């Protein structure tokens, strides 16, 4: 289902934007079944995978069962189950458009970053496909890149960049009468 929705190039763009170093600790927020987590593990990082859904984390746990470098934590974007300055990197792929308050979620993700740590968010550009809200529980119909820049700046981040991933998110409505093709951005910043 994930592969139909967005391609592996999104993960490559996210990891490249953070220039991750092996041996460091990364948080994957809204980790789902572990798409970003998988890439981080391959690069030799330890991962704290957070999701509000215990069932999603359980499916990730089954997928990565032999791997000790992951810590699964159930928790919400408003109060992440991670201490202040605990991680070197924060990643959030296709997560922000699900939360109630994106600027609040960004601040909370910055809280858990060590000084000089990096955050990378990959998500949808602003779009008009209402069926994603009614059928897929999206709260936000993508984002304006200027808003993302503003929320990053308000959270105290520097070296803020928002670029095109160069890939699209594709989805079909359940009736088959509407289909979406939405560009994806990669936003990064440093604490
Ligand atoms: C579209 S999925 C993306 C999953 C994964 N990041 C990926 O790239 O495949 C969004 C995930 O965010 C989680 N989520 C949504 N709202 C959340 C919140 N407020 N706090 C924590 N997790 C949330 C959902 O349970 C879901 O697993």
Residue 179 is predicted with a pLDDT of 87
Of 1, 10, 32, the one to substitute when testing ligand 1's pocket (max ligand atoms within 8 A of C-beta) is: 32
Least confident among 18-27, 48-57, 99-108, 177-186: 177-186
Q: Which CB contacts under 8 angstroms, 24+ apart, belong to 133-139?
A: 135/173, 135/174, 136/171, 137/98, 138/97, 138/98, 139/97, 139/98, 139/99, 139/100
CB-ligand 1 contact for 34 (6 Å cutoff): no
Which pair of structure tokens corresponds to residue 99? 């939360």
Alpha carbon of 51 to ligand 1 centroid (Å):
6
- The CA distance from 27 to 112, in Å, is 9
Alpha carbon of 70 to ligand 1 centroid (Å):
17
CB-ligand 1 contact for 123 (6 Å cutoff): no
Q: What sign results for the dihedral spanned by CA atoms 31, 36, 41, 44?
A: negative
pTM over 0.85: yes
pLDDT tens per residue, range 28-46: 999 999 999 999 999 999 9
Residue nearest to ligand 1 atom 14, measured at CA: 30
Higher pLDDT, 74 or 169: 74
CB-ligand 1 contact for 57 (6 Å cutoff): no
Of 15, 98, 103, the one to substitute when testing ligand 1's pocket (max ligand atoms within 8 A of C-beta) is: 98
Kindly give the number of the ligand 1 atom that is closest to the alpha carbon of 56. Answer: 27
Residue 78 is predicted with a pLDDT of 96
- At residue 1 the predicted structure's pLDDT band, cuts being 50, 70 and 90, is low
Nearest CA among 137, 37, 66 for reference residue 97: 137
pLDDT tens per residue, range 130-143: 989 999 889 999 99
CB-ligand 1 contact for 37 (6 Å cutoff): no
Q: What rounded mean pLDDT belongs to the chain?
A: 95
Nearest CA among 22, 168, 140, 30 for reference residue 88: 22
Alpha carbon of 95 to ligand 1 centroid (Å):
5
Residue 22 is predicted with a pLDDT of 97
Helix (H, G, I), strand (E, B) or coil at 28: strand
- At residue 15 the predicted structure's pLDDT band, cuts being 50, 70 and 90, is very high
């Amino acid at each position: 289902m994930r592969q139909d929705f967005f391609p592996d190039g999104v993960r490559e763009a996210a990891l490249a934007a953070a220039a991750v170093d092996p041996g460091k600790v990364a948080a994957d927020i809204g980790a789902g079944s572990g798409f970003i987590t998988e890439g981080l593990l391959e690069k030799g990082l330890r991962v704290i995978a957070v999701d509000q859904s215990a069932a999603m984390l359980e499916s990730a746990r089954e997928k990565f069962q032999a791997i000790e470098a992951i810590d699964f934590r159930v928790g919400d974007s408003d109060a992440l189950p991670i201490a202040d300055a605990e991680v070197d990197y924060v990643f959030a792929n296709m997560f922000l458009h699900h939360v109630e308050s994106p600027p609040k979620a960004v601040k909370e993700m910055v809280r858990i970053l060590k000084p000089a740590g990096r955050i990378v968010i990959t998500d949808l550009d602003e779009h008009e496909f209402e069926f994603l809200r009614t059928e897929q529980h999206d709260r936000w119909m993508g984002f304006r890149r200027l808003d993302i820049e503003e929320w990053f700046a308000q959270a105290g981040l520097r070296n803020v960049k928002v670029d095109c991933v160069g890939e699209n998110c594709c989805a079909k409505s359940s009736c088959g009468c509407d289909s979406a093709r939405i560009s994806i951005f990669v936003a990064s910043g440093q604490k």
